[in-house]
Structure 1
Amino acid sequence: MRKRKSGTPFEIAVMDIQKLIDPNSIVSHDEKIIDKYGHPRQFDVVIRGELGGRKLLGVIECKDWKAKVDLPVVDAFITKMRDINANFGMIFSNSGFTSRAIEKCVENDIGVKSLLQNDTLSTKVKIMYHVYMKCYDWRNFKVRMFGTGSANWDPETTINDMFINGQNLLEWFQHHLDSMPNLEIEGPYEKEVKFSSPQVVQARGHSVVVERLVFMATRVMQLKHTDTDIKGDGIFDWGENSMSFPENWTIEMRVPDDPSQWEDYDGPIREGFDIRFGVTAIQYNKEHPPLKIEEL
């Protein structure tokens, strides 16, 4: 019985992904091809396909090692590949490549790639992406009251102290802001509410009759950033610093959902993901929507 190589599961995973990316090709595993000198040469994965009616032969070397692939592996693979007149070649490493190995591969049009898998236990290499977040925050909540007659009012009163029919005005305004479309607006915002009949606003033991209210707040944006690793069934290209995935692919990217865990950032946005995430300055009870003040 033939002894199973330690890297076989990794090689089969590479083969399966290649089949998904190019379903019209014929992909085989652990195949020997006779070179121009009449010697059998073993390849971990062999790809046969066509381009413009011309048959193409591609070969892949798979290294499921703890260490990065270095120059000797690249030199040996280039020689072996040329001896069978392969049209293209790729080296897959589960632990990445040294910089000089990448340079040699790029010079010789050899793909340097790593397999991305959902099973993190079988993937040593982590592909890190820099992720940006536009964090929108509502601040400076205020309200103006318009009515008739005089009012005895505590000058320290804020919108958080004010109620209509037992409903806190800040909670109503916060609910209104939260239900707005996720627009990328910044700066001052106003919302006017006109009542069909005068309403009594109560605060700190005082009350005043109003006919309309104008709510005000300011929306500010803070750019933040963090790093995250990518998981998914696909391939990362070290030479191009890019990823490719089969049709109907999915990827998993974990990022902190608490904006306080992200770092503030004021520089240019580099290539990567741009995530827009809105937060509000004051929390309210979302399970019990506030009274519809605008319908009073």
Structure 2
Amino acid sequence: GNQRYQTAREELEGLLESVREKDPKAELIAQAETLLASEMPTPQAFAEMKEKLNKKLAPAEESHHVGSVDPNEVAPTVEALPELVIETETTAYERQERPNAEFLKGQRRVVQAGVEGQVRRFVEVDTKDKRTLRSTEVVKEAIPEITEVGTKVLSSNQPAEGVKDLVLETPKLEIEEGTVSFEHQERPNAAFLKGQRQLVQVGVEGQVRQFVEVDAQGKRTLRSTEVLKEAIPEITEVGTKEEQVSQTRDQALLATPAKVEETSKQLPNTGAETDASLVALGLLGLMSGYGLLSRKGREN
């Protein structure tokens, strides 16, 4: 930026000096001096002042008589001024190569993309289409393309026989996903009788991701395993309770006198009612004695 400003300033000072020599009383001299003395002149102001100074320095064109040939007639003169044309064009970027000792020979990598630049030219065109370049202004600097080139050599020795140029083959990494079976677990439950089973938790399969290295010969090597989803085990509760046989026997004994009593009530009224009652009482006493013996046996 400073370089372009200095160049434009020098061009303007040169044009101003030429105008002073041609016409010391020209009004443009004061305007140009004011512009040069300003602290922050704009590129547009420089360009406009250059155009004015160039027009001032342009040679006067030949005048052509228009009208009658009367020598007393004041013929109008037409002054043909040159035209200032501003042209903008792009400039190609450079291609640079930079060595990199970390890359093998033959490897290349673009580390900076190239960008075209842009320049603006101020061209003076006279009535005869003669073009004169007055100044050039860089609008945008071109950015070079930089490519790093490998210089690393693995080995300078070559075998006398066989393949001289060795090819380095690197293994590839494959990612595989699979499922994991869930476990079947059994848990005792004292509230259930033996033989009873109840599913209390449904099993769910898990999921894993495996990283497998495969070399040029197809050999597979497991490098690591990642658990994506833990498997949930299946849990079944199994009964352990023993059935009480003695309690069932007591209930059967207590139910027997009631059945005998019902039978006695159903006998016909034939005079044998007293005998049936005696038989029932005897059976009742026998059952009671048997019940007492059973209870003492359990207590012992």
Name the TM tier (shorter chain). Answer: under 0.3
Structure whose CA Rg is larger: 2
Q: Which structure's residues are more often strand, by fraction?
A: 1
What TM-score results when the alignment is normalised by the length of structure 1? 0.20
Taking structure 2 as the reference length, the TM-score comes to 0.19
Structure (1/2) with the larger helix percentage: 2
